[in-house]
Chains A and B, each alone.
Chain A
Amino acid sequence: MPNQNRRDFFKTSLALGVTVSGLASGKLKAETPKVHPEDRMGVLVDTTVCIGCRSCEYACKVAHNLPTGSLESYHDDRSVFNKERRPGEEVLTVVNEYKSNQEFPIDVKVQCMHCEEPACVASCIVHAFTKHKDGSVTWDTGKCIGCRYCVIACPFQVPVFQYSKALQPNIMKCDFCYDRTSKGLLPACVEICPVEALTYGKKVELLQVAKGRIKQKPDKYFDHIYGEYEVGGTSWLYLSSTNFSNLDFPKLGEDPAPATSESIQHGLFRYFVPPVALYTLLGGIMWLTKRKENSEEEE
């Protein structure tokens, strides 16, 4: 009698395991790739044009009411390039400089890439991130609970949590100047750029421009548009004279970052069938074992 029950128990747990693993593996590739709307906006960053003047850093801070020095101080201070910087608690974009074997060093602007299928949007526990029609990804201070799961999820390590604040710490990240672009203005960094290293426009058109530049000067450009396919595509696109791995861009696949975890979640909760089925199964077992027990007592 005890053996019988134990076997039942293992059978149940095994069946459960098989169900879960089946869900996890079966649904992984099932989702069809989303087609992105034609009017998605983007920015093409041509790192071969950028001179590292850091005007964009200044304009960004002004546009987001963050403390900043004078514009001249950004031009003059080249010592910041001595070490690699990242967006921080009061900085939404930074420019890093990399040595190259050509005449000029390579300068790379860093900010949120505004993924087509953002991991932060899929992961956020309270849906504080929104992917807008124009492609921008913004964060809503009214919902955020400060769990920092977006920081774990982001493949580009962009969102920054304000550790120094005890009350209302924010998640800091580039919002693609959503307030400006919805009024018909250019993003602050694009507007101020003196050498047109940044081009704002429809993403489909930017891709054509980028491909044209590579085709025209194949010696100058490394044949890859970073952001065209990475993690399912990003709104910000980069051109470079060298392999992007030399410029500290993460090497990422073409699957959207949240694809796997999203399909696990959706698989487990498809019309709530698996949880309800498990509930019914357990209820059934409970009823059966109870009956068996009662009939044994009567014997």
Chain B
Amino acid sequence: MQNIYKPVPLKRHFLTPGVMILIVLAFNGLVFLALRLIYGLGFVTNLDIQHPWGIWIAIDVACGVALASGGFTTAALGHVLHREKYKVILRPALLTAMLGYTFVAFGVMVDLGRWYYIWHPLIYWNGSSPLFEVGICVMFYLTVLYIEFIPVVTERFIGKVNFKGLLKFLNIPIDSILRFLDRSLSKTMFIFVIAGVVLSTLHQSSLGTLMVVAGSKMHPLWHTPILPLLFLLSAISVGFPMVIFESLLAARSFKIKPEMEVLTGLARMVGPLLFVYFGFKLGDMVIRGTYVYLEVINTASVMFMIEIVFGVLVPLRMFFSEKVIHSKLGLFIASSFVILGIFLNRINDFLVAYNPPYAVKSYFPSIGEISVTVGFIALLVLLYRIAIIIFPVISLPSRDLLPKSKYEIKGESK
């Protein structure tokens, strides 16, 4: 008997002990955020004249963008390549990307000295700036993600808009707006889906171009003209592991059975993708001869080795093992390693590799910086939980919904 998976809002209580902890962390972050807005960047952060960028850029923005890549990789797989099997993971991945990019935008904003001018790049263009390209693409992609999410909202609320009391007169207009959106988007969605994939490849790679200009200040282990390509390849490799990681986490948290068949299918693609990334990374190292920097033991060489061994080689081996990709625990560990690897890579590229010439001390994030970053992550998880309780995002097997297909009539079964 085959189960049909259909996205449904999950009927769960919002408040759990874990949620309470997240709320405390989020509140703590917001306190430090308020201090930053009132007293300025210097008051809350450890940034200085020599170190202009800290973890708010390296983690909130660079890691945030990379780890939200599940959105465009699954869109390419499910919508562009029409792989029906993977339809069930599209919505969770979309939601993650949407929330992830929202917090990337917030992350950028609090890091800007003049945060209230965040709209300036829309007016003052600079085509030769990679940062301009990242900024514009992220703005457009965020819009595309919200548009892609509209059908989830219309599906949930069409015919169910039911305000009580004073707002009652809004019921019919809102319902017709939803119906209009649903109708027009069902025909045009492919435009946005492809735009989303193109915008993603553009800014994922340009995020790598950012540090190319810092040339003389960058450690040669990371500084290469193919940084944009490495960033794009690593973002593509981390997309599916991130989806697997989240699915397993959500399944555990909501006590539902993970769709192992789908996850194993995704996992089969991770190995080759990681292999291509590793190939370029290794090739770049050999061509530029940077392996000489690994002969000395210092922060840079140790961090590079950790990144490569635990972030690329270990998961590469694991994803090629049949035993691992068929086991929940194995998949979870292997995916965690890939995520760790990309996380380290972004931190290495933006912070460890950056050596300003006149620095008197090295940078380490302050309590305030860590609090805001952790607070944002906590808020993101909370919003994710709220969203999957309200909207039909997570797919559950449902026998009631099983249509009478022609296979059944013929008596075939799988």
Contact = CB atoms under 8 A, between A and B. Distances in A.
Given A146-B113, A152-B53, A248-B358, A127 B124 contact: yes
Interface in B186-234: 190, 193-195, 197-198, 201-202, 205-206, 209-217, 225-226, 228-229, 232-233
A283 interface: yes
Contacts of A21: 226, 229, 280
A142 to B, nearest CB: 9
B325 to A, nearest CB: 14
A124 B206 CA distance: 14
Given A17-B229, A21-B226, A152-B354, A125 B40 contact: no
A123 B82 contact: no
Interface in A145-159: 145-149, 151-153, 155, 157
Interface centre among B39, B135, B194, by most A CB within 10 Å? B194
A188 interface: no
Contacts of B212: 260-261, 264
Contact of A250 (B52, B216, B229, B280): B216
B128 A258 contact: yes
Interface stretch (A66-74, A233-241, A274-282): A274-282
Contacts of B125: 127
Contact of A124 (B43, B76, B129): B129
B358 A84 contact: yes
A281 to B, nearest CB: 9
Interface string B27-56: 000000000011111110101111011000
B118 to A, nearest CB: 7
A278 B202 CA distance: 10
Contact of A153 (B195, B198, B213, B269): B213
B232 A20 contact: yes
Q: Interface size for chain B: under 10, 10 to 19, 20 to 34, or 35 or more residues? A: 35 or more
Nearest to B233: A17
A258 B216 contact: no
B80 interface: yes
B121 interface: yes
Nearest to B50: A157
B132 A125 contact: yes
Interface stretch (A48-56, A208-216, A284-292): A284-292
A28 interface: yes
A32 interface: no
B118 A122 contact: no
Interface stretch (A2-10, A175-183, A196-204): A2-10
B357 interface: yes
Contacts of B120: 125-126, 143, 145
Given A157-B358, A166-B38, A20 B211 contact: no
A155 B354 CA distance: 12
A192 interface: no
Interface centre among B85, B129, B205, B358, by most A CB within 10 Å? B129
B273 interface: yes
Nearest to B199: A275
Interface centre among A126, A157, A269, by most B CB within 10 Å? A126
Contacts of B190: 283, 286
B156 interface: no
B117 interface: yes
A292 B112 CA distance: 48
B174 interface: no
Interface of A: 2, 5-6, 8-10, 13-14, 16-17, 20-21, 24-25, 28, 84, 86, 88-89, 119, 122-128, 143-149, 151-153, 155, 157, 160-169, 248, 250-253, 257-258, 260-262, 264-266, 268-269, 275, 278-279, 282-283, 285-286, 289-290, 292-293
Given A125-B129, A157-B358, A251-B216, 7 more contacts: A119-B213, A146-B113, A152-B53, A167-B40, A169-B41, A260-B225, A285-B80
7 contacts: A88-B49, A147-B111, A148-B52, A152-B53, A152-B213, A248-B358, A282-B197
